[in-house]
Amino acid sequence: SAYIPVVIATWNVKQSTSKAWETIQNGGSALDAVEQGCRVEEADEKGQSVGKGGLPDREGHVTLDACVMNQHGDCGAVVYLKDITHAVSVARKVMEETPHVMLAGDGAKQFALSQGFQPENLLTEASKTAWEKWKIEAKYKPIINIENHDTIGMLAIDSKGDISGACTTSGLAYKMAGRVGDSPIIGSGLYVDNEIGACVATGLGEEVVKTVGSFLVVELMRQGKTPQQACEEAIGRIVNKPNSNYKDFQVGYIALNKKGETGYFAIHEGFTMTKYQDGVNEQLQSDFFNK
Ligand code: SD4
């Protein structure tokens, strides 16, 4: 059959898409690809919105949210996970090794340890210094595109034509303790339907959750929209609310359909998608609503 593999990811993460592409070329599944791709960013301490080196909450704790979803519609997620770098792999273990779809906090950490994950201090000196500087004024205001090139949502189609997705993040910098965003919430941060396509979100998670964004994008594709049209309509659903303050925050979606067509759209300038297809790994500037 003539399935053409493709990997797309939020932001500028060419090393991650490259790893995912290589995984598929070596016979890996779409799920293997998105997991391996996300792990590259999680391990990168320079990325201050994901995994090790992520910016902490207001109290100085780095807490991670992640999820995966495969071609069977199975999913797994961890929320408020501390001290474990590879949240995406813990999410996959939740899917494969437990009867549940989501584990939180201490339970998620205990489960990870039981699966052989090693505990690590995720607060790097750089992130600690940034947090201490932030504490002087302690203003809480989301900064548009602060997520740039770190938090990662990734979708892939493998050589069999199967679709999977993953999403991993340390969430919003200086969030309230206990805060969970869209990234580990199936239907909001990520959704995969192997018959139709998949979508993953980035940006201010609260706004994505309120509109169940990724599920919305996939359902719009089911109704015949292209991935591009679906992403644009889902952003429209956020910005066209009567009292939307969209000027103050960013949301971006990326999507693909079963044919391997892709789309991406954001509220503001500055969003990028990385795409690996036909042997070409490229960073693409997203079109945006607020012109
Ligand atoms: C969140 N959506 O926790 C995440 C943050 C993010 O790119 O995507 N940053 O709200």
Q: Which residues of 81-109 are buried (b: 16+ CB within 10 A; e: fewer)?
A: bbbbbbbbbbbbbbbeeeeebbbbeeebb
Quick check: helix, strand or coil at residue 225?
Answer: coil
Cβ–ligand 1 distance for 205 under 6 Å, the answer: yes
The reply to whether ligand 1 has any atom less than 6 angstroms from the CB of 165 is no
pLDDT tens readout for residues 171-186: 988 888 999 999 999 9
- Position 289 scores a pLDDT of 98
Highest mean pLDDT among 49-58, 133-142, 265-274: 265-274
Nearest-CA residue for ligand 1 atom 3 is 171
pLDDT at 138: 72
- Please give the number of the atom of ligand 1 that sits closest to the Cα of 204: 10
Q: ipTM of this predicted complex?
A: 0.98
Closest residue to atom 10 of ligand 1, CA basis:
205
Evaluate the CA torsion angle 135, 143, 188, 260 in order and state its sign: negative
For the Cβ of 235 lying below 6 angstroms from any atom of ligand 1, the answer is no
How many angstroms is it from 75 CA to the middle of ligand 1?
19
Number of H helices, E strands in the chain: 8, 12
Read off the pLDDT of residues 90-120 as tens digits, 9 standing for 90 and up.
999 999 999 999 999 999 999 999 999 999 9
As a whole number, mean pLDDT of residues 281-289 equals 98
Instruction: Using the mean position of ligand 1's atoms as its centre, give its distance from the Cα of residue 1 in Å.
Output: 37
